[in-house]
Structure 1
């Protein structure tokens, strides 16, 4: 047995890892969106790119993917983890805080866009079922591309960023009923369509409700028990088990695995382990999502541009204009400035990655002719490739319009509890962290605390305190808590190595943010100061000074003399710890 036979798709896996190891750093250095990079790479090395030359030049085979089906399994895993990460963003509190935008603007956008695009598809001769599917799926935008663009531009916390996130959130939610609808349209059993719809809806609601309710009862205690062991490998295994296990349950119930992964993320999003899970799954999601988008790129045949040099570009332009105008109008009606509304239309006007999933599913049920499906996939792929250019164009035009009209992006405010500004991040929520949190609350200062003890996290979250489970020395965890918008970070951890590591990570991500740290002693304090902390308080020194002050008072030493002596000792001891910048 050869190595390839022992491990299926070994060559494809090694080639993908090689491309990822080279491609990801190169894209980061050039500030290119990774999603678009993987799409372009898949187009280049796929069966419609260099792969079609293998029969003439066999030496190209190790460097190409001649068959899309060879990476289909890995691509499906990428979809599962995409839906799982989306579920993590869909906490009930967040949906409720953004309900006006998610369920108001989002529903209007999908409904109006689907009606316009579906109507055009019907006019061009497509059956009703195909027109409905195309209208709905083309109403969706690319969550992966848009969110990464907003993240690169540091605009997730802006009104436009929050409005775009709300729109994408509703689209992600709408994927679930769309997948059910495609499955229903693909069935050819007895009975009316309304009866089939009702049966499937009841089955779906019962299955989803049962998994969600049981999952909430089971997942949190299991995570709590295993997290107490502080074993990162166990935590990672449990995260993978929940995401893939719930996906398998929904598949066994006749629903899609993508729906199950979304449900798994939603279950965990309601617990204090949400941010820790995001940090754990992020590396896997990045690789598998890269493989998914590379497989999408493999299905794009650019030679079709030669056979349809007019209709393909016109269809891409038509899609962006039709959907973009609807989005821009809704954003303007609901409070954004004219320029930012126009920018949102350009940013969200292209197609999204779910089109490849839904159209592929519809094609397997013979709901779409193959030539129509291939054409639509090309339209979506090309529009996604053009999204960065469209976003830059929209930003330029939007800035010019707002400057000319005197409008500002701050015309709209979205009440998102997680979109805090000038908040304090507490790293550690033991006795010191709790006391600091109480004082901040009394002064009306927002804060969020990270604690690695799951027992403490569960106890204080039950009281409504903003505490999440995680490793405070992990810079990615701090990034999840919006470090870029925080006013200060306070480290109350008493372990030297994790605290120093956290300070160094903070300084690498945010050189200017104020960092205040607690230290056990002066040696620990000096290490924190050298790592980049602005203010360091050695607790042994302060305890000693307070004890000495009490003793001097009892002995009758005058208050002024005692104070001067204590200040002198404090000054001598803390001089090396001062920020001299």
Structure 2
């Protein structure tokens, strides 16, 4: 018996299914997307039947895709979109045309579909899932990788292409051609007018509104305003038959250069995550798995055929159009080979226009859903087989050619800590050489003056030789990656045992491992935290001498505890005992401070 009579009960069912399946999928390294899909299948009509009103859930869950596209728009800007025009309108157009032609031809010639139906099948199945693709790329932190950037450009074009495709469905169906021509023109004018209204409103109305709301200093009003902008724009676009997601993307794009961009992103992000999860759940709920049980070979064959057609075509587009190497092109194909959420909309309208019969429509929806479901599995398996090499970095020759006398200090890493160290060394006229693998950091460092900063990975022996580490007194490792710091310290100690190493440490465990390598660890937040504590004590009325004494006492105690823990840090029981003893001793020190304060008063 379905339990969707109560909104509260339905919410509990959704949340419970999510809490069970998503962590399990993540633990099995299948990704959150597959976990959400499994949750939808579990509570949907095909399994337990806990939720039967899948249509309402699907409508609400579309807001997840809307919010996702809004945030993507915020992270772009019109200037950056113009830079991407070749990828979006060149490669994106090539992918849609090539894929739709091949799939349409197979449907027409191989499966004896009518020309109009084959055209709809080709165009609909050429679309990929924006929500799935971007979520997987975000989970894997590959949105800025070569295949991630190209995938985003292609998906953006597909979202744009879905608008005319949906508008042209009545014309493709051949229903009322003369009337369709007139309706199409009217619809086109409505679309242009709505987009123009969004652009004008975003440019001239939204900033004053946000300025007024910001002055209220009420968080809930700020959140409501952010949601109003996104949902209101999506609603306006839907009224004229435009993709809600594209409308939200335009709104985000218009606010990308706004001073309120970060505030908007922080307000929308929690809602985006929840509703996007609900979207994936709704996809799992709407699939008719009874059809899979009755005709398994047909459904599985259709799913595999879709993936096996799109993947090589996407590989070709990425390899020859996008200039990707083999591994990145294969990854692009895997991410975008599945069907997309806009295909559900296209095929539903095509079914209403009698271009698809009921059985074919159900087969297509199930095939697209299964293609989405197997995408995380393909990512898990094939990404390991085809490991992508890091993209080549365009390094100016003067950055790579290390020209140095005999430095007394070599600094590895020119981030926040490295820059301060380099400025101090330069002010004291200590000869040094700095290394970094980020060209932007080198640009910035050299812009401050003729800093001896060069491009180079300190893990490579030839770079260490070129930097004349063997002649230096100190190597300071200041990168923000603990593993890189440990590996660098180990490599340098092995090659140059005489050199003294001072290394940035992330936490206490990192400190112990650096001490084992003979390095002097410096905790990256420890001293700044002590200074903040000192300022707080001063603000609460302690005089400067007493505040400084308390901070020195705490620092000395903490360093003694750290040294004691280093002797037993591989023994969990001993570590726990040491921590308890240290806490008791610290309490005694604080008690002594309180007695001293009362005596002074």
TM-score normalised by the chain length of structure 2: 0.63
- Could you tell me how far apart the structure 2 residues matched to 1:577 and 1:330 are? 62
Q: Pick which of 41-50 and 256-265 moved more.
A: 256-265
Cα distance change of structure 1 residues 156 and 193 upon mapping to structure 2, 3 Å threshold: same
Q: Among residues 308, 313, 316, which one is paired with 2:295 in the alignment?
A: 308
Match of 1:410 among 388, 391, 397: 391
For the 8 Å contact 1:335–1:411, the answer to whether it is kept is no
1:459-507 Cα shifts (integer Å, max 9, x gaps): xxxxxxxxxxxxxxxxxxxxxxxx99xx9xxxxxxxxxxxxxxxxxx98
The structural deviation recorded for 1:353 is 2.4
User: Which residue of the partner structure matches residue 360 of structure 1?
Assistant: 348
Distance in 2 between the 1:114 and 1:280 partners? 38
Contact 1:160-1:336 within 8 A present in 2 as well: yes
CA distances 1:184-211 after superposition (whole Å, capped 9, x unpaired): 6579556264444333222211221122
Does the 8 Å CA contact 2:21/2:38 hold for their aligned counterparts? no
Aligned residue for 1:405? none
Flag the structure with more relative contact order, 1 or 2, with Cα contacts below 8 A and sequence separation at least 6: 1
1:267-300 CA-partner distances (Å, limit 9, x unpaired): 3334233333222212212222222222211121
User: 2:276: which partner in 1?
Assistant: 289
Structure 1 residue 341 and structure 2 residue 349: aligned? Answer: no
Shift in Å, 1:444: 4.2
The aligned counterpart of 1:202 is: 189
Q: Distance between the aligned counterparts of 2:294 and 2:62, measured in 1?
A: 31
Tell me, yes or no, if the aligned pair for 2:65 and 2:131 is still in contact at 8 Å.
no
Distance 1:365 1:287, change over 3 A: farther
Instruction: Report if the CA contact (8 A) 1:24-1:34 is conserved.
Output: yes
Question: What CA RMSD, in Å, does the superposition of the two structures yield over aligned residues?
Answer: 4.3
Question: How far apart in 2 are the matches of 1:67 and 1:32?
Answer: 28
> Are 2:204 and 1:217 equivalent residues in the alignment?
yes
Equivalent residue runs for 1:169-188 within 5 Å = 169-182=156-169, 188=175
Q: 1:249, 1:115 → 2: CA distance? A: 33
Match of 2:317 in 1: 330
The 8 Å contact of residues 160 and 246 in structure 2, kept in 1 or not, is answered as: no
The within-5 A match list for 1:65-214 is: 65-123=51-109, 124-182=111-169, 188-189=175-176, 191=178, 193-214=180-201
Q: Structure 1, residues 237-263: CA drift from partner, whole Å, max 9, x if none? A: 101111111222233445454443333
Q: Map 1:520-559; keep pairs closer than 5 Å.
A: 523-524=531-532
**How far does residue 159 in structure 1 lie from its aligned partner after superposition?**
1.9
Contact 2:350–2:356, Cα closer than 8 Å, also in 1:
yes
State whether residues 246 and 260 of structure 1, in contact with CA within 8 Å, keep that contact through their aligned partners in structure 2.
Answer: yes
Q: What is the SS of the residue equivalent to 1:379?
A: helix
Could you tell me whether the CA contact under 8 Å between 2:17 and 2:43 is conserved in 1? no
For the 8 Å contact 1:268–1:274, the answer to whether it is kept is: yes
Distance 1:170 1:161, change over 3 A: same
Instruction: Name the counterpart of 1:262.
Output: 249
Contact 1:336 1:412 in 2 (8 A): no
Q: Is the 8 A contact 1:347 1:387 kept in 2?
A: yes
**Residue 518 of structure 1: how far off its partner (Å):** 11
SS at 2:196's partner residue? Answer: helix
TM-score when scaled to structure 1?
A: 0.65
The yes-or-no answer on 1:389 pairing with 2:377 is yes
Q: Greater Rg, structure 1 or structure 2?
A: 2
Question: Following TM superposition, by how much is the alpha carbon of 1:164 offset from its aligned partner in structure 2, in angstroms?
Answer: 2.2
Q: Alpha carbons of 1:527 and 1:26: their partners in 2 closer, same or farther (altered >3 Å)?
A: farther
- In the alignment, the residues of structure 2 paired with residue 269 and residue 304 of structure 1 have an alpha-carbon distance, to the nearest angstrom, of 45
**Gap regions ≥5 residues in structure 2:** 395-412, 418-439, 449-479, 485-505, 512-520, 539-543, 545-551, 564-601
CA distance in 2, matches of 1:102, 1:517: 46
The separation in 2 between residues aligned to 1:201 and 1:424, in whole angstroms, is: 51
